[in-house]
Amino acid sequence: MIGNVILVDIALFAILLAAALGIAHTRSLYSAAMLAGLFSLTCASLFVVQDAVDVAFTEAAVGAGMSTVLFLGTLALTHSRERVTPPTRRVPALLVAVGTGVLLIYASLDLPPYADPANPVQQHPLTERYLQTSQQEIGVPNVVTAVLASYRGFDTLGEVAVIFTAGVAVLMLLGRLRGNAAGSPGTAPAGGLQGEHRVLRVVAKLLMPFILLFALYVQFHGDFGPGGGFQAGVIFAAGIVLYTLVFGLGHARAVVTPGILRMLLPLGLLLYAGVGVATLLLGGAFLDYNALSPQDPVQGQHLGILLVEAGVGITVAAAMILLFYAFAGRGARS
């Protein structure tokens, strides 16, 4: 059994290493960006093999849906070829990298053996709490969701705040469109794929409702299977990205207007923090969902997780769509 996993692990790692070296070697930045997409696909496969299904889910949605698109969008706005890297840059970098590697390998000798059930992590009382007691305390089968939204809810609030801040910062940098550059459909580059890509447009139209529906399913099914607000937000945004790519920025902005998105971006964060304030007012600690339903704490936990995950989903989706609009909008102007 463990032998199987080693073989699969090593095969995946070989693919990852080849892709990473390919990124280092190629001078065409388009190729490098696409290889990075491939790299993240393989990483997600590795996460599945290592039991981290929720992480794989997030990586799948982010790596395939958003990250590649943002890199390609940037390249479309800038240069897509790289200069030849001179040896004066290569040699010191190689030395530092190899030195770091040696130090890391040396440090890894002190790490506990891989996947050993006797590891300190597995023996820690917190593991017992998460995997056993959480069923009585929270009653959500997906422990990752329980830890994310409830036990470590305060941490997650901080993460959502970071996403919000990054979204605002990108909007400040790339700003809104000036004048009439909003991209009437058909004008490259902000326009859609016209004429020649009829098949693509029909299939994209067919796929769109499924992507959005699937995002909602992921949002609300996160208690029972892999999924939750982060994944759902990114998948929803990916659906809108597909629509924008195929039908043009003008059409997309008419359907999902930036004004609404700019309201939703802080709204999700406020919803999250608002749940915390509500629990404070009801006499509990900040983000202590038991206070939401004192007679039946598990019910309170369920309500709290639902609201908090909704907040996460709203902010992440709004942030991702706004990020993409910002890059696509720059293309329309220049």
Partner 1 sequence: MWLALALAVLTTMALALARALLGPTLYDRILAINLFGTKTVLFIAVAGFMAGRPEFLDIALVYALINFIGTVAVLKLSHYGEFSRAEELQGDDL
Partner 2 sequence: MTVVLVASWALITAGAVLALTGALGLFRLPDFYTRTHAASITDSAGASLLLLGLLLQAESFAVGIRLLLIMLFLLFTSPTAAHALAQAALKDGLKPVLGRAARR
Partner 3 sequence: MIASGYNYWMAMALLIVGLYILMSHANMVKKLLGLSVFQMAVFMLYISLGKVRFGTAPILDSSITVYSHPLPHVLILTAIVVGIATTALGLALVVRIHEAYGTTDEDEALALDRKPDAP
CB atoms within 10 A of CB 67: 18
Of 38, 70, 275, 306, the residue at the interface with partner 3 (CB under 8 A) is 70
In 3D space, the residue among 310, 275, 311 whose CA is nearest the CA of residue 293 turns out to be 275
Structure tokens at 315: 């902010």
Amino acid identity, position 158: G
For every residue of 14-54, DSSP letters joined together read HHHHHHHHHHHH--BHHHHHHHHHHHHHHHHHHHHHTT-HH
Closest separation in Å from C-beta 264 to partner 1? 21
Structure tokens at 201: 């447009």
19 binds partner 1 (CB under 8 A): yes
- The torsion region of residue 83 among left (phi > 0), alpha (psi -120 to 50) and beta comes to beta
Rounded to whole angstroms, the Cα distance separating 283 from 254 reads 44
162 or 206, CB closer to partner 2?
Answer: 206
SS3 81: strand
CB 48 within 8 A of CB 9: no
Structure tokens at 123: 């023996």
Of 8, 11, 98, 202, the residue at the interface with partner 3 (CB under 8 A) is 98
Sketch the per residue contact string, 167 through 206, with partner 1: x for CB under 8 A, - otherwise. Answer: ---------------------xx---x---x--x--xx--
26 or 299, CB closer to partner 1?
Answer: 26
The CA R_g of the chain, rounded to the nearest whole Å, is 23
241 binds partner 1 (CB under 8 A): yes
Task: Give every CB contact of residue 77 below 8 A, 6+ residues apart in sequence.
Answer: 327, 330, 331, 334
- HSE-up of residue 286 (Cα within 13 Å, Cβ side): 9
303 binds partner 1 (CB under 8 A): no
111 or 199, CB closer to partner 3?
Answer: 111
Name residues contacting partner 2, limited to 13-42 (CB under 8 A).
none
Name residues contacting partner 1, limited to 106-165 (CB under 8 A).
none
Closest separation in Å from C-beta 159 to partner 1? 21
Name residues contacting partner 3, limited to 291-310 (CB under 8 A).
none
220 binds partner 1 (CB under 8 A): no
Of 25, 124, 178, 197, the residue at the interface with partner 2 (CB under 8 A) is 197
Name residues contacting partner 3, limited to 210-229 (CB under 8 A).
224-226, 228
105 binds partner 2 (CB under 8 A): no
In 3D space, the residue among 303, 297, 288, 286 whose CA is nearest the CA of residue 136 turns out to be 297
Name residues contacting partner 3, limited to 122-181 (CB under 8 A).
122, 126-127, 130-131, 135, 141-144, 147-148, 152, 155-156, 159, 162-163, 166-167, 169-170, 173-174
Rounded to whole angstroms, the Cα distance separating 122 from 96 reads 35
Of 61-69, 158-166, 202-210, 300-308, the window that binds partner 2 (rule: CB under 8 A) is 202-210
- The torsion region of residue 40 among left (phi > 0), alpha (psi -120 to 50) and beta comes to alpha
In 3D space, the residue among 36, 65, 68, 54 whose CA is nearest the CA of residue 230 turns out to be 54
110 binds partner 2 (CB under 8 A): no
- List residues binding partner 1 (CB under 8 A): 4, 7-8, 11-12, 14-15, 18-19, 22, 25-28, 30-31, 34-35, 37-38, 41-42, 44-45, 48-49, 51, 53, 56-57, 60-61, 64-65, 68-69, 72-73, 75-76, 79-81, 188-189, 193, 197, 200, 203-204, 207, 210-211, 214, 218, 221, 225-227, 231, 235, 238, 241-242, 245-246, 331
- List residues binding partner 2 (CB under 8 A): 196-197, 199-200, 203, 206-207, 210
